[in-house]
Amino acid sequence: MQTIIEPFRIKSVEPIRLTTRAERDQLIAEAGFNPFKLRADDVTIDLLTDSGTSAMSANQWGALMRGDESYAGAKSWYRFRDTVREIFGFEHVVPTHQGRAAERILFSLTVKPGQIVPNNTHFDTTRANIESQGGVAVDLPCAASADPNTPAPFKGDMDLDALAALLEAHGPAQIPLVMITVTNNSAGGQPVSLANIEAAADLAHAHGVPFYVDACRFAENAWLIKQREPGCADLSVREIVRRMLAKADGCTMSAKKDAFANIGGFLCTRDPVLAQQERDLLILTEGYPTYGGLAGRDLEAIAVGLQEVLDPDYLAYRTTSIGYVVDRLHALGVPVVRPAGGHAIYLDAKAMLPHIEPLAYPGQALCVALYQEAGIRGVEIGTVMFGYDPHTDSERPAKWELVRLAVPRRVYTQSHMDYVIEAVNAVYARRHEIRGLKIVSAPKFLRHFTAAFDWR
């Protein structure tokens, strides 16, 4: 069969409240033209994030009842730890309440003021956790990532020449670790090739520097390697995951993505001394080392989800449904980042709305238009998110003006995706009418979450 179906049936449904255009115009104005400030109930299709928004399976819900809530050494902990060990291949597993807690623990033990941490592209919490230690987070995306329209297979790759030059110039005294993010969320959700991961690890190790993977979307990345990388088609997803991590000294993970959990994360290492230091820190703020801020039932849900996400039928459906939206939009002439990545559709607001200058926030204007048109909630990744420098109190255009439509896992069906395509196309057709915005109020840090806007 040519038709790729959702490989699940629906046992429990959540109603979507439908709104009128007039209601949405009023609601978004009341929210200061910032979709973060809408009530979720006022959103028809919520594509704000794929994080913590997955639908759990019947097996996951069943496993919740098995949750052992003993404070220390619960059965759920051992099931969780053994699953992570089996899939990821690391000896030491430290549970955390979500990905950024793993980042905070890792970087507070490894990064000293002035030290540099390179990454293909740091996610914003990764960057913030490095910077809060006084470190310098450096992005080294590959050249192909700069053009949203080049359909190169691995636009998430790291620029290896730039990494080699950085390692040569600064060495292990100044670079406590090298990190690579799979898939590269902040650069269009694009995958990283196995060859690139292995070469980056080899380069780091040749300079005596540890190598880490931000593994949030490890299964989607592995699947895209299987589809796109020469020589990998016959490897199983599990084998690819093991190879992605085989040369790594550790990883951070948000179980809110590729573990189908609504909360959770972990930190892994092969180093017993570092693992002990991590557990010592964990006890201070997260919890005892066998639960790390999670309930026993959360550990169960993650253990089941990590196995389920490796199902090739699921991964084929997941990447096909994202690719379907990207290809249809491209065929309609809508500027969209290509090729499709693993978890989101990225609209190119700069190309779509050239009449809106960067400091009038074309990405934000597009988000507002999508909500008004059809109740779709996406997120701006552009000058609102990255354009303000709190140290100099000044603003400058960001590199990209994108709108991310992140697709929650196993939540929406093909007809929801068709609705999204129709809505984006309708907004595209009236793009010349869309106006720029100005900021009315905003905090100094992470302003995109709470800023209020008005029309220019």
Interacting residues toward ligand F0G by CB under 6 A? 49, 51, 98-100, 123, 125-126, 181, 185, 214, 216, 254, 256, 265
The CA radius of gyration of the chain, in Å to the nearest whole number, is 21
Q: Which is nearer to ligand F0G, 47 or 74 (CB)?
A: 47
Closest distance between ligand F0G and the C-beta of residue 48, in Å?
7
- Distance in angstroms (rounded) separating the CA atoms of residues 337 and 308: 28
- Looking at the Cβ atoms of 256 and 297, the one nearer to ligand F0G is 256
In whole angstroms, how close is the CB of 187 to ligand F0G at the nearest point?
Answer: 10
Strand segments (E) across 53-151: 92-96, 116-119, 136-139
Closest CB to ligand F0G among residues 93, 356: 93
* H/E stretch holding 180: strand 178-181
The amino acid at residue 181 is: T
The residue (of 42 and 220) whose beta carbon lies closer to ligand F0G is 220
Tell me what percent of the chain is helix, strand and coil, each rounded to the nearest 5. 45, 15, 40
Nearest approach in angstroms of CB 96 to ligand F0G is 9
Q: In the structure encoding, which two tokens stand for residue 68, read together?
A: 């052992």
Strand, helix or coil at 117?
Answer: strand
Q: How far is the CB of 181 from ligand F0G (least distance, A)?
A: 5
| Closest to 334 in 3D by CA, of 405, 413, 406 | 405
Closest approach of ligand F0G to the CB of residue 125, in Å? 5
- Burial (0-12, 13-18, 19+ Cβ within 10 Å), 206: exposed
For residue 355, CA distances in Å to 368, 374, 433 come to 16, 23, 10
Closest by CA position to 268, among listed 80, 62, 60, 13: 80
**Based on CB atoms, which residue is closest to ligand F0G, 254 or 269?**
254
Q: Which residue is nearest to ligand F0G (CB)?
A: 99
Between 26 and 450, name the residue whose CB sits nearer to ligand F0G: 450
**Which among 373, 370, 371 is positioned nearest to 352, based on CA atoms?**
370
Of the two residues 176 and 293, which places its CB atom closer to ligand F0G in the complex? 293
Q: How far is the CB of 169 from ligand F0G (least distance, A)?
A: 26
The residues, any chain, with a CB within 8 Å of residue 199's CB and separated by 6 or more, are: 160
- Secondary structure of residue 328 in the 3-state scheme: helix
DSSP 407-447: --TTT--HHHHHHHHHHHHHHHHTGGGPPPEEEEE--SSSG
CB of 432 to ligand F0G, least distance (A): 31
Closest contact distance (angstroms) between CB of 293 and ligand F0G is 12
The residue length of the chain stands at: 456
Taking the least distance from each CB to ligand F0G, the nearer of 106 and 209 is: 106
Nearest residue (CB) to ligand F0G, 353 versus 385: 385
Residue 73 CB, nearest distance to ligand F0G (Å)? Answer: 25
Rounded least distance, CB 51 to ligand F0G, Å: 4
Supply the minimum distance, in Å, between the C-beta of residue 189 and ligand F0G: 9
Q: Which residue has the tokens 């619960």?
A: 74
Write down the least CB distance from residue 186 to ligand F0G, Å: 7
- Judged by beta carbon, residue 344 or residue 352, the one nearer ligand F0G is 344
Calpha distance 299→292 (Å, rounded): 10
Give 215 or 417: the residue with its C-beta nearer to ligand F0G: 215
- In angstroms, the CA 37 to CA 52 distance is 18
Closest by alpha carbon to 300, among 71, 102, 82?
82
Is residue 398 within 8 Å of residue 382, measured between CB atoms? yes
Strands 394-395 and 265-269: unpaired
Assigned token pair, 189: 């959700």
- Nearer residue to ligand F0G within complex by CB, 98 or 290: 98
